[in-house]
Structure 1
Amino acid sequence: MSSSASSVRLRPPGEHRVLGVLGGMGPLATARFYEAVVRATPADHDQLHIPTVIWSDPRIPDRTAAILGGGPSPVPAMVEGARRLEAMGAEILAMPCNTAHAFLPAVRAATGTTWVDMIGATLDRIARTGAERVGILGTRGTRAAGLYDAAAAPRGLDVFYPSDTDQSLLIDDAIGHVKSGRRLLRAERLVAAAAARLHAAGADVLIAACTELPLVLGAASRVVPVVDSLDCLASACVREVATAVV
């Protein structure tokens, strides 16, 4: 049982709602997300864990390419995946991909199921810490879509990003290494360098706003506190799916 979920009270066995995970964006992040859900669930035997169905489809078109105008829309494939999950009994849906949340309004409109919002869950956790200046480590798509900018303002948070050069040479390169499964030590060094520069620019805390980055955060987290958006989504899903209304 994780300390972050120690106060969560589960519904009785048999009353848990079914969690549906729209994954494959990317596959390794999807696998890690399911592990995070299991770890966030305060269960001491199998039957208290959350029934989960996962549709991991790496064929979904690239989200960043679509946002930047150079690729096909991922919405049809995302809607198809969500409907598959609904057909398998999912009652709550989640996407462990920050950039994909740029398309969440369109996907939500095409489905009849409640979605857990990764962006909101992450910023809610940061708002509770008292931090004010938040550095974002994510894809160019997340940055261009302004996902964190729009959600931060109502919470009194100021978000900012690496320079264009650092985004290209440090973050984009690191994400590519993680997606390929190679040169992870280099990726960790690149992320740590970006973290150090954001911290020097005044960041109180950073968000790992790409679900590949938590795999290479070791050195960066020793420079400045880093909040893992994937863990935030997992904890929010546990609260939404498994807790009784109190």
Structure 2
Amino acid sequence: MVGGVGPLAVAYFYQRLIQLTPAVEDDEHLEVVLVAERVPSRIAYLRGVGPSPVPALLRAAKHLEAAGVDAVVIPSATTHAFRDDVARAVAVPVLDLLAEVGAALAGRGLRRPVFLATAPTARLRLYEPHLTTGTRPLYPTAAAQRRLDGLIDGVKRGAPVETLRAGLADLIAAGPWPGDADCVVLACTELPVIAPLGGAGPLPLVDVTEVLADAVLARHPTPARLTSP
């Protein structure tokens, strides 16, 4: 697992991976290696300021490969702007969060998703190549995007979670989203950390952290419990 790409978001991903694993005993959980490099801001770099995060991402991936992992996971949507660089640098598979989310939306029959993501993810339309034909994504207004960026920054700097949670719930409830919107995608991995408890409004929430955890578990089923004869 590549850390340092939103440290709290990565920690939350690991927490959800543990919670979603159908394990009873400690030794039934997945073997996980976490390498937390000090990765420069991907958001800043994609905005044209700050150093490239690629060297740090490649170091992390190569450390993981040397440790013997059979797959690399990057729990950050914006960082997937550089996923191909990472995938070319190592021989082990690098899971694709964006593709997994596209498949999850298609599998649930969701065709009009509202994507709540970082400004660079939205501007670059990172998810769109992975969406089923006929899916028409929606994005926040400029004003709502500024509020959303503030919430994401708040998670990164360690602001109180409950305050941020209330802010995200207000943003989702306020919309306004077109009448044919059929879900809200928490498309930045900082957002599931502050997801409104019990949802927010009539639209279902799609949690990309949970989608990625499900993809890891589908690829690495936990061993069956041993029982005495």
**Where do 5+ consecutive residues of structure 2 fail to align?**
224-229
Change (3 A) 1:155 1:95: farther
Is 2:191 the partner of 1:185? no
3-state SS of 2:100 partner: helix
* Cα deviation digits, residues 105-156 of structure 1 (max 9, x gap): 111111111011111112212212222110011111211221112211x353
Pairwise CA RMSD of aligned residues?
1.9
* C-alpha distance in 2 between matches for 1:143 and 1:37: 26
Task: Provide the C-alpha distance between the structure 1 equivalents of 2:121 and 2:111, rounded to a whole number of angstroms.
Answer: 20
Partner Cα distance (2:21, 2:159) in 1: 31
**178, 189, 192: which one aligns with 1:201:** 178
Residue 91 (structure 2) pairs with residue 112 (structure 1): yes
State whether structure 2 residue 156 is matched by structure 1 residue 156: no
Work out whether residues 133 and 157 of structure 1, in 8 Å CA contact, stay in contact via their aligned partners in 2.
Answer: yes
Q: Secondary structure of the residue that 1:92 maps to in structure 2?
A: coil
Provide the residue aligned with 1:232 in structure 2. Answer: 211
Cα distance in 2 for residues equivalent to 1:235 and 1:171:
26
How far apart, in 1, do the equivalents of 2:176 and 2:143 lie?
Answer: 16
Question: Per the alignment, do residues 160 and 200 of structure 1 end up closer, same or farther by CA in structure 2, a change over 3 Å counting?
Answer: closer
Alignment partner, residue 176 of structure 1: 153
Q: What is the CA–CA distance in structure 1 between the aligned matches of 2:198 and 2:82, rounded to whole Å?
A: 29
Q: What's the secondary structure of 1:200's corresponding residue?
A: coil
Identity %: 34
Partner of 1:221: 199
Amino acid at match of 2:26: D
Question: 2:35 aligned with 1:52, yes or no?
Answer: no
Amino acid in the other structure paired with 1:87: A
1:62 shift after superposition: 0.6
SS in 1 for 2:103: helix
Cα deviation, 1:47-83, whole Å, max 9, x if unaligned, reads 22211100122x2111111112112211111000000
2:116–2:139 Cα contact (<8 Å) kept: yes
Distance 1:56 1:103, change over 3 A: same
- Give the superposition deviation at 1:31: 1.1
Matching residue of 1:9:
none
- Count of residue pairs the alignment pairs up: 221
CA displacement at 1:45 relative to structure 2: 2.0
Structure (1 or 2) with the greater strand fraction: 1
Inter-partner Cα distance in structure 2 for 1:107 and 1:188: 32
1:36 aligns with 2:13: no
TM-score by length of 2: 0.89
Contact 1:135 1:205 in 2 (8 A): yes
> What's the TM-score once normalised by structure 1's chain length?
0.83
